[in-house]
Amino acid sequence: MSRLLFISDLHLSPARPRLLERFGELLEAEAGGCDALYILGDLFDAWIGDDDPSPFADEVRGMMRAFSGRSHLFFQRGNRDFLVSERFASETGTVLLEDEHLLRVGGLKVLLLHGDQLCTADTEYQAVRRELRSPGFRERMERLGIEERRALAAEFRRRSGESQSLKPADITDVTQEAVAAVARDHGIDLLIHGHTHRPAIHELEVGGRRVQRVVLPDWRESEPRVGFCLEASGHRWLELPPA
C-alpha cells in the first residue's frame, strides 16, 4: 500500500500566518516522503479566483508547486474554495478532483468528499450550495474585479458565521441517511471527509457491509492533529508539533 495523506479545512488566510507556516512545514516534511497528499476542500478561508495576485496567494501557489514536483498532489473543492479551477491546478501541479472521488487503496474502496453535501438536514445551506456551485454564479463572479470579489467573499463569510451560530449542532452535522446512501451507492469500505470540524473515526454497517467514516480535523495553531494517513502498516492520525 502507498503512503497517502488526507487533510482539509485549513482555512488559510493572510490573517492567520501561523497556519500558513504549519502548512509549509507539512509540505516540506512530506515532499518525496509520501506518495500523495489529498486536500479535501477549504484549504482557504476564501478563494476569490485563480487570478488573485496577492502575495498570500502567490506564496501558497509556490509552496504547492514545490511539493507537487516531488509527490502527487490532489485537490477537492470545499465550500470556501469552490472557485478554484484549472488555472490554479496548472500553476501548482495539482490534480483537481470531482465532488465525489473513488480511490482503491490496498484492497480498500475509499470515497473522498469535502463533506458538506452530507449535511442534508441543513436545507438552507444546501440551497445556497447549489447556487454557489452553479455555472451562472461562477460566470457572474468572474465578471467582477478582484476587490469586488474580495468584499463579497468577506460578506459571505460574515453571513455564514451568523447563520451557523444560530443552528443546532445536529443540523450542521452530517445525517446518517446521507452517509448510508453514499456508502451504499459506491459500495465502499472507507469514507474520508472534512467540513464539520468534528474529527473522529466512526464505525457503521451499511447493507451488511462494515464501513469506517473518518472525519478530518480542522487546523488550529495549538492542535497537533492535522489529518489522516493511510499506509501499509494501517491508518493513523497525521500530526504536526503545535505552534
Binding positions: 9, 11, 42, 79-80, 114, 122, 160, 164, 167, 195, 197
Which residues make Cβ contacts (< 8 Å) with residue 241, sequence separation at least 6? 224
Q: How do residues 125-184 score in pLDDT, each as one tens digit? A: 999 999 988 999 989 988 999 999 999 888 888 887 766 767 788 788 999 999 999 999
Angle between helix axes 17-30 and 55-68 (nearest 10 degrees) is 10
pLDDT at 86: 97
Give alpha helix (H) positions in the chain: 17-30, 55-68, 86-92, 123-132, 135-143, 146-165, 169-172, 176-186
pLDDT tier, 82 (very low <50, low <70, confident <90, very high otherwise): very high
Rounded-to-integer distance, Cα 178 and Cα 182, Å: 6
Place of cell 480511490: 103
pLDDT at 162: 67
Q: How do residues 57-75 score in pLDDT, each as one tens digit? A: 999 999 999 999 999 999 9
Give yes or no for a contact between 44 and 76, defined as CB atoms under 8 angstroms apart.
Answer: no
pLDDT tier, 232 (very low <50, low <70, confident <90, very high otherwise): confident
Rounded-to-integer distance, Cα 8 and Cα 3, Å: 17
pLDDT tier, 222 (very low <50, low <70, confident <90, very high otherwise): confident
**Percentage helix, strand, coil for the chain under 3-state DSSP, each rounded to 5:** 40, 25, 40
pLDDT tier, 238 (very low <50, low <70, confident <90, very high otherwise): very high
CATH 3.40.50.300 fits 4-239, yes or no: no
Binding positions for substrate: 79-80, 122, 160, 164, 167, 195
CA distances from 34 to 31, 71, 80, 106 (A): 7, 6, 26, 15
Place of cell 485549513: 10
pLDDT at 196 over 70: yes
Minimum mean pLDDT among 3-7, 148-152, 239-243: which range?
239-243
The CA R_g of the chain, rounded to the nearest whole Å, is 18
Number of neighbours of residue 236 by Cβ within 10 angstroms = 10
Sign of the CA dihedral 130, 133, 139, 141?
Answer: positive
Percent of the chain with pLDDT over 70: 98
Binding positions for Mn(2+): 9, 11, 42, 79, 114, 195, 197
Query: How confident is the prediction for the chain on average, in pLDDT?
Result: 94
